[in-house]
Structure 1
Amino acid sequence: MSSLNETSRLTEPLPQPEPGLRPADVVARAEAMIPKLRRSQAEADERGHFSDEVLQDFRDAGFYRMLQPKLFGGYEFDTETFFEVVYRISAGHPGTGWCFCLSATHVAVVASYFGEQAQREILGDGEFRAPHRAVAGGRLVPVKGGYRVSGKWSFSSGSPVSTHFIGDGFVHEDGEQSRVVTFVAHRDQYKVLPDWGNGTTLGMQASGSNTVEIEDQFIPEHWVTDQDILFGTRTDFSEGTPGTRLHGNPRYLGLFDPTYHMSFAAILSGAARAAVDRMAELMPTTKQILGTEKMDKDPDALRALGKGAALADAAHAVMVDTARRIDALYARWSEDGRPITPSELMRLHALACRAAMLGAEAVQLLFQSAGSRASGRGDSMQRYLRDSEMYLIHPSSQPFVDFLRGLSEFDAFTGGVS
């Protein structure tokens, strides 16, 4: 059964910057930022990530503390609230949404799976932003008290705005590669290589998906875990996690397979909303392909706008429903301790993928229908198309997701997807 009443609070919690902050407040703040984020799209793409000013806006708004434990000055908001904020940031700029989300969501990794000493050392000043590169790389060589870590981890989204890095790596013992673990490194232990943004990739140029390099740094043993963080298929949820015992909140059970893929659901749903808005801006000033009237008088253009808007609405609705289902699993575990199975997690994973696919479909339709003006390099519609295409080549969007979802109908899924 669950152990939520076995909390350990050896010191007073850090004060929250805004003790009365509500979920509705952070959502409203994210909505208000959309115009500013749209104005800064081009410079963020060139830079490879959002600006220091935007980072400070996000910090001041409380966005990086939404998933932070209250013990460390956070708010412990629910899954839906967090992704509603990501959705709105992405409606301002999908690349900025990706960079924010993939640096903000991983505080829950530490708060769920790492022990109290590590949490106090890593989260204890109330500031935590980190990518998690789940594809194992590099070398961890055991030494007294921990490991010497070296390696490079590409596509570490959010790394330019990070305070820490979470990586998966191979432990090498007696010259042999023995196992995979997850570790945390502090910002002064790694370099962020300048290999992202300014046209380096087709899209998501502002996602801050740079390569992180670590050169022979000592990582203490308690900053390393061999838990199956991404999928939970090797996790015995019956007794909870270090996080549920420390914080008394079931959300620190750490269901990261569906939560990770909710990131893409929110980002692509936001991109779809942005494309709908751009299409509506273009139509009154753009001529029909045939005729002299503007596109807002063209039945075909209006049908495309209507279908694209409906797809965008559907993507957002599926995103919201998936978030609520994730939180329902947390609540169920807290109430009666029923096991959470890999097949249940896979069903939510696939649902989040479907939301992202609906968002990408909306963007593609609207770009196709917006006229040649939208194809210009500086036009935001072109940017939304390029950004959505980056999701469509991501591993999480590939056909094997549907195969594994099929297995889950027979409770036959046991893990092994990234």
Structure 2
Amino acid sequence: MSSSSIPTAQELIGRARDLAPVIARRALECERLGRLPDESFADFRDAGFYRILQPKRFGGYEHDMYTLLEVTREIGRSGCCSSAWVLAILAIHNFYLGYFPPQAQEDIWGDDQDTQTCTPFVPAGTITKVAGGIEIRDGRWTFASGCDHARFALLGVLVPDDAGGPPEYFQCVVPVGDYQIDHTSWDVVALKGTGSKDITVTECFVPTHRMFSLSKVAQDIAPGREINTAPLYKQPFFAASVCSLIAPAWGAAQAALAAYEERLQSRMMVFGAGKQADKSTAQLRLVESAAEIDAAGLLIKRNCDELKALADAGTQSTKVLRARALFEGAYATTMLTRSVERLFVASGGSALHEGNVIQRCWRDIHAINSHAGMNLDNMGELYAQVRLGQDIDHGLI
């Protein structure tokens, strides 16, 4: 793909801003379907959003991580956090795949560069080494967001070590015919429209060239870098990519803030207490939440910028920066959650209606904050240990 045919970051962000009202109108449909509507999946595809971080050799744009965050944030501002989440997940997988063995990338995108993948990370299944690869039996993987629109799953497995050492952690590229989706498994109260269903495998073979070591990528060993040499793919695999999961929460918080501020102008308090907009407490809720949302955004951008600058310079990021980025991502998400919690409580009973964007953002942002990558305690402990110079070996950094 020539550089002249690649949309600029601002063009992509503008497309997301224009599309957000359409996504907003589909928000209830998305929740009731329990997955991203087909029309929204197609709109994101046609706008080029899934290609933002995809390798150029397979039709991608190779933009920076922050471009994906801004595009996802704009979709999140629609108030349909589920749609923004699926967009972020599918698009970040195309960043992951840039690190995978070249033949695995060819298998996925060789015939169709719009092919998408789902990624249940947590290892499962019984794994046996066989000639030319591994055999997976009797596995169930949870939280396969966007699986209804994927043609491959990147399944987490632990492969036994022949010498009796710790197993090696892999992601395996498995085509849709070799796994099944349990459509009854996604019955939740938040992020309802993400279709993060369970995936099962009875038995399948995975060739070695479709196996990617998550254990080794933490040591900056990634075979895909042989063909994808752009600075984008020199960034730390986990610290950079987890940033993308914050963007739906960022957009949702902004959507909740906008809805609260608009409602504040006309909402009358009960028992003759007057307009809510005249109350100093309501005013404080507004500006305190706005400040937290802005502060979270600044943390996200700083980390994206620093990781990108080091990659552009060909300099390896430090463990301290990687750990800080992971912690500050969790901290930013916690701030965003607090901001929406405050607005939801201040909005009164009217916020409970199904069509009210504040309650949807409140539910969804709490769900994002519960994601393992956003766990404040775990990420805080990791960052503190690294800052204190403790000798630790952690797969995320």
TM-score by length of 1: 0.86
For 1:219-238, what aligned pairs fall within 5 Å after superposition? 219-228=206-215, 232-236=217-221
Correspondence for 1:182:
171
- Which residue of 360, 370, 382 maps to 2:337? 360
Correspondence for 1:166:
154
**Any idea what SS the aligned residue of 1:399 has?**
helix
1:279 CA displacement: 0.7
1:214 is the counterpart of 2:193: no
- Which residue of 126, 131, 153 maps to 2:141? 153
Identity of aligned residues (%): 26
Report if the CA contact (8 A) 1:147-1:219 is conserved.
yes
**Any idea what SS the aligned residue of 1:327 has?**
helix
**Any idea what SS the aligned residue of 2:308 has?**
helix
CA distance in 1 between partners of 2:179 and 2:367 (Å)? 26
- Which residue of 356, 359, 363 maps to 1:382? 359
Report if the CA contact (8 A) 2:6-2:61 is conserved.
no
For 1:46-125, what aligned pairs fall within 5 Å after superposition? 46-92=32-78, 93-112=80-99, 114-124=100-110, 125=112
C-alpha distance after superposition, 1:168-189 (max 9, x if no partner): 1133589x99543221112232
Report if the CA contact (8 A) 2:101-2:212 is conserved.
no
**Any idea what SS the aligned residue of 1:206 has?**
helix
Correspondence for 2:371:
394
CA distance in 1 between partners of 2:280 and 2:318 (Å)? 49
CA distance in 1 between partners of 2:291 and 2:161 (Å)? 55
C-alpha distance after superposition, 1:77-108 (max 9, x if no partner): 01110111111112221111112211220112
**Any idea what SS the aligned residue of 2:174 has?**
strand
1:321 CA displacement: 1.9
CA distance in 2 between partners of 1:109 and 1:254 (Å)? 11
1:329 is the counterpart of 2:344: no
**Any idea what SS the aligned residue of 1:148 has?**
strand
Greater Cα offset, 16-25 or 200-209: 16-25
**Runs of 5+ consecutive residues of structure 1 not aligned to the other structure:** 1-14
Report if the CA contact (8 A) 1:181-1:224 is conserved.
yes
- Equivalent AA in structure 1 for residue 197 of structure 2: N
- Which residue of 264, 277, 298 maps to 1:283? 264
Report if the CA contact (8 A) 2:331-2:376 is conserved.
no
Correspondence for 1:128:
115
For 1:257-296, what aligned pairs fall within 5 Å after superposition? 257-289=238-270, 291=272, 293-296=274-277
Using a 3 Å threshold, how does the CA distance of structure 1 residues 293 and 303 change in structure 2: closer, same or farther? Answer: same
Aligned length: 390
Report if the CA contact (8 A) 1:253-1:330 is conserved.
yes
1:73 CA displacement: 0.7
Q: Which runs of 4+ in 1 moved over 6 A?
A: none
- Which residue of 376, 399, 405 maps to 2:383? 405
1:211 CA displacement: 0.6
CA distance in 2 between partners of 1:324 and 1:364 (Å)? 29
Report if the CA contact (8 A) 2:235-2:311 is conserved.
no
Correspondence for 1:343:
320
C-alpha distance after superposition, 1:187-236 (max 9, x if no partner): 23222211355xx222111122111112212222100122426xx43335
- Equivalent AA in structure 2 for residue 162 of structure 1: A
**Runs of 5+ consecutive residues of structure 2 not aligned to the other structure:** none
1:294 CA displacement: 3.1
Report if the CA contact (8 A) 1:228-1:235 is conserved.
no
C-alpha distance after superposition, 1:114-167 (max 9, x if no partner): 222222222223123222222111123233322222311011122122222111
1:290 CA displacement: 5.3
1:409 CA displacement: 1.1
1:261 CA displacement: 2.4
Correspondence for 2:300:
319
CA distance in 2 between partners of 1:247 and 1:394 (Å)? 30
Using a 3 Å threshold, how does the CA distance of structure 1 residues 254 and 48 change in structure 2: closer, same or farther? Answer: farther
Report if the CA contact (8 A) 2:144-2:196 is conserved.
yes
Using a 3 Å threshold, how does the CA distance of structure 1 residues 195 and 374 change in structure 2: closer, same or farther? Answer: same
**Any idea what SS the aligned residue of 2:201 has?**
strand
Report if the CA contact (8 A) 2:296-2:336 is conserved.
yes
CA RMSD of aligned residues (A): 2.4
Report if the CA contact (8 A) 2:101-2:209 is conserved.
yes
Using a 3 Å threshold, how does the CA distance of structure 1 residues 170 and 416 change in structure 2: closer, same or farther? Answer: closer
- Equivalent AA in structure 2 for residue 310 of structure 1: A
C-alpha distance after superposition, 1:34-75 (max 9, x if no partner): 212222111111111211101110011000111111101110
TM-score by length of 2: 0.91
Report if the CA contact (8 A) 2:151-2:175 is conserved.
yes
Correspondence for 1:195:
184
Report if the CA contact (8 A) 1:265-1:356 is conserved.
yes
